[in-house]
Structure 1
């Protein structure tokens, strides 16, 4: 389900546990959000890697750094030949030239993670320099239907 409005877009991809049969790009278990949400400054993917599965190739990027945020499960991330244990709460940032691969080391549990890609060195503002607090009271109660 998704909805695109003037100032926001929403996508309900469903539970990570249901991504195992989804195929976008070269791998099963990956949902890219760029087109669904009309993203203009980053690519985001929601990922489910089944038990004992792995991304079966090394890769790197030309311009984009990646941030991997692990939500559930356990695995190993290899960057430039170094094996890193990853699990719920782990975040890993990789520069474009970092050669990477990932595997789920669990025999029984899926590995759920989010990947955010953005052009390296392109962040010029963030919450503390870009955010503006408005003098407007917060009001709730206006629901929106999604198609």
Structure 2
């Protein structure tokens, strides 16, 4: 099968040593050959924040927080984030975040980005096979 690619970012405990577009931030869509979904893995040390605010005209983002304690600024609102917090941010919303100074670990999260046609317009295009055996069951 050639319709997939694999990339290795290492254990989550080592994400703070990643060095992509910024320390602790690596975009993976190019390495994975993704056409419709953007993906980054991120780590921000306690007391540190985003290097800048940003917004998107047509892209929505989903932030999945995995570790640490922080705050996500969305326009004028500031919301607390921690492991297990998942936030969808639509187009035209300014965003920035920080890891709280007293966080016991760096703030670590995955950001998924998507644009184009709404998923609802694609309909339920999944195909299901309940009879197919799993390769690990042999």
Question: Which category describes the TM-score, using the shorter chain as reference length?
Answer: 0.7 to 0.9
How far apart, CA to CA, are the structure 1 residues paired with 2:78 and 2:38?
A: 25
SS of the residue 1:7 aligns to: coil
8 Å contact from structure 1 (residues 51, 109) kept in 2 = yes
Is the aligned partner of 1:39 residue 2:28?
no
Query: Where do residues 1-147 of structure 1 align in structure 2 (5 Å cutoff)?
Result: 6-25=2-21, 27-107=22-102, 108-119=104-115, 121-123=117-119, 124-125=121-122, 129-134=124-129, 135-140=131-136
How far apart, CA to CA, are the structure 1 residues paired with 2:3 and 2:52?
A: 38
How far apart, CA to CA, are the structure 2 residues paired with 1:106 and 1:121?
A: 40
Q: What is the root-mean-square deviation of aligned Cα atoms in Å? A: 1.9
Q: Tell me the alpha carbon deviations over residues 58-105 of structure 1, each in whole angstroms, 9 at most, x when there is no partner.
A: 110121111000011110000011110001110111111001110001
The CA deviation at 1:56 is 2.6
The CA deviation at 1:22 is 2.4
More strand as a share of residues? 1
Long gaps (5+) in structure 1: 143-147
SS of the residue 1:109 aligns to: coil
8 Å contact from structure 2 (residues 49, 97) kept in 1 = yes
